Amino acid sequence: MKILLPPSETKHEGGEGSPLDLASLALPSLNERRAAVVEALIDLAADEEAARRVLKLSARQSGDVAHNRALRSAPTMPAIDRYTGVLFDALDARSLSVASRRWLGAHVWIHSAPLGPVGALDAVPTYRLAAGTSVPGLPALRRHWAEATSAAIAEADPSFVLDLRSEAYVALGPMPDSVSSAYVRVVTEHGRALNHFNKKSKGALVRAIAEDRPRVGSLRGLRLWAEKRGIILRDGAHQGVLELVVDE
């Protein structure tokens, strides 16, 4: 099983790892497209005013332009530790055991805008780029990434993918028809979508799976595990949608 997570706009800065090495990342068939985005962001960052305008940053956020300028030379840290925010705070990967972190490295991809999906323990620098941003010198990110990312996922041939991404990141890499998958929505018992608890519940779900490290290779196996854990995963109204039921 693989789990696909969205990234977060907020990130921890710094790191102790060596600079970005595209050859070390998961899904290596994406490396040419990764390099194109990295170089486009570095080129854009050479003009701070233009970069702030494209990335929709205030003058106080000019540090994010500097991060993009240093993408090739900045220190790195595991992707699962780089991101902050509600989902990643609930997952709290840094407090997990070594075995659980190793499980995350083997089973979790985080879908970034500049690098596509990367492994949870892949070393990445801090950056600023959202899924909907149009970067000068590149086609729209959706056109740049979607087909290549879907093909890379199909090539990896996971037995099952639990898709926890936002719709913006699904657009950058739709799940291929050849791969069994389920897209997760967080709802109440009565089916009402919960925006406030959405990210927190997804992070808590991934933490629970990482703690237990079940041998899951299908949706049926995931639901059997969830039932034992007291987690409610039920079929959604549309095919391929799985509802994670939580209290308000």
pLDDT digits 0-9 by tens, 58-80:
988 989 999 999 999 999 999 99
- Looking at residue 60, its pLDDT comes to 87
CB contact at 8 A, 209 and 231: no
Residue 16 DSSP one-character state = S
Residue position matching structure tokens 């000019």: 62
Around Cβ 31, how many Cβ atoms within 10 Å? 16
Of the listed ranges 24-38, 46-60, 163-177, 187-201, the one predicted with least confidence? 187-201
d(CA 91, CA 120): 12
Q: Where are the beta strands (DSSP E) in the chain?
A: 2-5, 77-78, 108-112, 116-119, 123-124, 161-163, 181-187, 232-235, 241-245
The boundaries of the domain holding residue 106 are 2-245
- Tens digit of pLDDT for each residue in 79-125? 999 999 999 999 999 999 999 999 999 999 999 999 999 999 999 99
Are 11 and 83 within 8 A, CB to CB? Answer: yes
Angstrom distances, CA of residue 145 to CA of 36, 72, 133, 221? 11, 20, 13, 31
What's the number of domains the chain is made of? Answer: 1
CA distance 2 to 11: 23
Which pLDDT value is given to residue 156?
A: 98
Q: Whole-angstrom Cα distance, residue 22 to residue 30?
A: 9
- The percentage of residues in the chain with a pLDDT greater than 70, rounded to a whole number, is 98
pLDDT score, position 193: 75
Looking at the DSSP bridge assignments, the partners of residue 135 are none
